[in-house]
Amino acid sequence: MCGIIGINSNRPVSSAIINSLKKLEYRGYDSAGIATLSDGTINEIKSEGRVDDLEKNSLIQTIQGSIGIGHVRWATHGLPNSVNAHPHSSQSVSVVHNGIIENSTLLKKFLVSKGHIFKSQTDTEVIVHLITENLKTLSIIDSIKKTLKALHGSFALGILFKDQPDLIVGARRGSPLAVGYGPNENYLGSDSYALKAMTNKITYLNDGEFCFIKKSNVEFFNEDGKKINKKVLELSNEEEKYEKGDYKHFMAKEIEEQPTTLKNGINEYLDTSNTDINIYNFPWKISEISSITLIGCGTAYHSCLMAKYWFEELTSLDVNIDIASEFRYRKKKLKNETLYVFVSQSGETADTYAALDLCNKNNMKTCAVVNVIESSIARESKFVLPIHCGTEIGVASTKAFLGQILILYILALKIGALKGDIEQKTFKQKIKDLKQLPNLVEQTLSIDHKIQTIANTFNDVKGSMFLGRGFSYPIAMEGALKLKELSYIHAEGYPAGEMKHGPLALIEEGLPVVVLAPRDNYYKKTISNMQEVIARGAKVLLITNKSKDEIVSENIWEKIEVETANEDLLPFLLTIPLQKLAYYSALNKGFDIDKPRNLAKSVTVE
């Protein structure tokens, strides 16, 4: 998952490319590079690390050219260093690439036999040499066609040619790519977000298509090289300014914004009388749907896991959940009466997109729960439920998680009511309760100081466990993911009742164990499981909700109480201290909170 930008203009382009690359860093931030063309020379500058590091390179001020390409990388093949950074260039072409070339080893062998010399460890470099080789005998268009046909795997490409001062070629298979139109200049970008500062007129390439970007026009081709016409979409030209403000990190800001995320979602989907849920233009009859399959990755998968409990309780649907990277390759029977729901903040996650594509190709009912409404997953789903949480910059997903589970809860309530699985009285009461949720989250956010102190304990630990049952189990999984992703501490999320079947062996004196035990149906059972880990030396942080009843357990190390709500809503509240625990523990360790090592915000490779 890398970021691509290309600009073909009459003005010098290097600083515009650098600015766009800064916006694309959410796709990868281990190295960055730029190539421009001036006086028949390809000028290439690359650097390990962030775009800021590239910008500090003294040569960047001198780089000339009114046509160029740029790239931010998330390493797949080869170390994240400046040699493996893109663009990769031969004497005649320069290439930026997002995706993975699966037959690169074979192609490299062939190219080496033809005398090509490779400089990097990347799969991308084979594309450079293959085009160079094909150009020896073929026209530009034929060499592109031949090259693309030879590549297995996924790619979005930007290609610059030494002898073509007015041409950037863009090509796509699997990985998204957009073209933008400006006054006397045109652009290529991995998504419209990268282009939004320059234009709101966009065309998305479909799989297999490629394009020729000239200064004054853009030509599109299908995979056989036949010219095609494409629609120009006009996006809203409001460019959202999303700043950190007084917060140290975007993540801190995004945690605090969660009451607003919930208010936005509630205002969007609850009717003005607060007695019904509006889901407009749902394209299928509810009687046509007897099961639901929820699919996502990472935190979005945890949202699916959470939703499973609600859908099972509130509806008569058969409920399945799946990790997108597993779903897409399993041999399974897709079913017409199933609603396939794809959950994704970015809407660009490659595995989730591939799972959606599989369902679409089989003409299934597909629905997206996404944040970025211009994303590939939103565009290609038959129905979209936006989560409206605004830009999320922190790689660790926080407000998008609450936004996703809110929308999935609302969907479960609505389907339950439409199918007559829940009584109208219960439905209305749950809607009324839901209205209180933003305030309850707001109040829970104030437990801050105590979590900061508790987080100190996580400074030197080897590992930790997060336990919960029922509604709290998905939240335990999410809490563990947040801690490992931000503070690089091994953390296992586990159903509390499963501990005795193996993981109990991990418990030793002083191991921090976070136990989620709100006063719900599972409370007593979870408390028993908690006692079992305490008896074996665990240092237990109990997270529960406020109650007048005393907790019947001794030797708890620390306790945090969130606000009280109806059982369905407790997961929202339990999430807050876990997000803060991960945040403060990473802060104590001095780690890069908004850009944790080895990760990216949008995972556009499989």
Binding segment for ligand M6R (CB under 6 A), chosen from 14-22, 220-228, 343-351, 539-547, is 343-351
Given candidates 21, 297, 412, 587, which one binds ligand M6R under the rule CB under 6 A? 297
**With contact defined as beta carbons under 8 Å apart, do 168 and 70 qualify?**
no
**Nearest in space to 18 (alpha carbons), one of 197, 177, 269:** 197
**What single-letter amino acid sits at 22?**
K
What tokens appear for 514 in the block?
């976070």
Between the CA of residue 487 and those of 162, 455, 490, 583, what are the distances in Å? 45, 10, 9, 8
Give the nearer residue to ligand M6R in terms of CB position, either 370 or 445. Answer: 370
CB of residue 287 to ligand M6R, shortest distance in Å: 31
C-alpha–C-alpha distance, residues 186 and 112, integer Å: 35
Site for ligand M6R contains 47 (CB under 6 A):
no
Between the CA of residue 432 and those of 8, 50, 118, 119, 266, what are the distances in Å? 54, 47, 64, 63, 11
What tokens appear for 575 in the block?
């999430």
Binding segment for ligand M6R (CB under 6 A), chosen from 36-44, 165-173, 297-305, 582-590, is 297-305
Kindly state the helix (H) or strand (E) to which residue 89 belongs, with its residue range: strand 88-89
Give the nearer residue to ligand M6R in terms of CB position, either 107 or 603. Answer: 603
List, in sequence order, every residue forming a beta bridge with 233; answer none if it has no partner.
Answer: 202
Active-site residue, 601 included: yes
Site for ligand M6R contains 585 (CB under 6 A):
no
Site for ligand M6R contains 344 (CB under 6 A):
yes
Count the residues of the shown chain that bind ligand M6R, applying the rule CB under 6 A. 16
Given candidates 261, 346, 381, 604, which one binds ligand M6R under the rule CB under 6 A? 346
Binders in 51-110 for ligand M6R, by CB under 6 A: none
CB of residue 124 to ligand M6R, shortest distance in Å: 22
C-alpha–C-alpha distance, residues 127 and 124, integer Å: 6
C-alpha–C-alpha distance, residues 244 and 253, integer Å: 7
Site for ligand M6R contains 191 (CB under 6 A):
no
Binding segment for ligand M6R (CB under 6 A), chosen from 143-151, 239-247, 293-301, 524-532, is 293-301
Site for ligand M6R contains 352 (CB under 6 A):
yes
CB of residue 478 to ligand M6R, shortest distance in Å: 8
C-alpha–C-alpha distance, residues 201 and 192, integer Å: 9
Site for ligand M6R contains 325 (CB under 6 A):
no
Site for ligand M6R contains 464 (CB under 6 A):
no
CB of residue 375 to ligand M6R, shortest distance in Å: 9
Give the nearer residue to ligand M6R in terms of CB position, either 134 or 349. Answer: 349
Site for ligand M6R contains 298 (CB under 6 A):
yes
Binding segment for ligand M6R (CB under 6 A), chosen from 107-115, 146-154, 344-352, 541-549, is 344-352
Site for ligand M6R contains 299 (CB under 6 A):
yes
Kindly state the helix (H) or strand (E) to which residue 586 belongs, with its residue range: helix 570-589
**Nearest in space to 262 (alpha carbons), one of 520, 584, 600, 576:** 576
C-alpha–C-alpha distance, residues 398 and 601, integer Å: 12
Binders in 389-448 for ligand M6R, by CB under 6 A: 395-397
Torsion angle of C-alpha atoms 297, 300, 305, 308, degrees rounded to 10: -120
Q: Phi first, then psi: what are they for 573, rounded to 5°?
A: -75, -35
Residues lying near ligand M6R in the complex (CB under 6 A) are found at 297-300, 344-346, 349, 352, 395-397, 481, 485, 602-603
Q: Which residues are catalytic?
A: 2, 601
